[in-house]
Amino acid sequence: GAGVSQSPRYKVTKRGQDVALRCDPISGHVSLYWYRQALGQGPEFLTYFNYEAQQDKSGLPNDRFSAERPEGSISTLTIQRTEQRDSAMYRCASSLVPGPNTGELFFGEGSRLTVL
């Protein structure tokens, strides 16, 4: 696609529900990153993939968070048993070259998660 696409753009859920956030990177981009961004703050790293392999998941806050990229393209970030503190903007970024820290990152518009 023309850019990194994320869905849903907005998600409101009740505490305890599971949510799945989707990221469709730019076609042909090798690396894919997930970030979480609080209002007024810079993005906070969660995890990243090169192709389908999850290279680093050290930023995932706890075991309720997981991510996959089974075919090396679309990725899903899943949050189980959501809590109010999970409310944030979740951003995906992709890069043409394998990561980390090589090549320009292109960010999506983000998925705004609100947990009631």
Partner 1 sequence: KNQVEQSPQSLIILEGKNCTLQCNYTVSPFSNLRWYKQDTGRGPVSLTIMTFSENTKSNGRYTATLDADTKQSSLHITASQLSDSASYICVVSAKLITAGSQGNLIFGKGTKLSVKP
What does the alpha-carbon distance between residue 76 and residue 21 come to, in Å, rounded to a whole number? 5
Does 109 contact partner 1 by CB under 8 A?
yes
Tokens of 5: 């696409």
Task: Write out the two tokens for 116.
Answer: 């009631």
42 binds partner 1 (CB under 8 A): yes
Q: Which is nearer to partner 1, 8 or 16 (CB)?
A: 8
Q: Determine the residue type at 29.
A: H
Least gap, CB of 16 to partner 1 (angstroms): 28
Residue type present at position 57:
K
The only residue of 2, 27, 28, 58 in contact with partner 1, by rule CB under 8 A? 58
CA-CA distance, 83 to 13, in Å (whole number)? 10
Binders of partner 1 in range 9-28 (CB under 8 A): none
Q: Do residues 93 and 32 touch, judged by C-beta distance below 8 A?
A: yes
Q: Per rule CB under 8 A, is residue 93 in the interface with partner 1? A: yes
Interface ranges with partner 1 (CB under 8 A): 4, 33, 40-45, 47-48, 55-56, 58-59, 91, 93, 99-101, 104-110
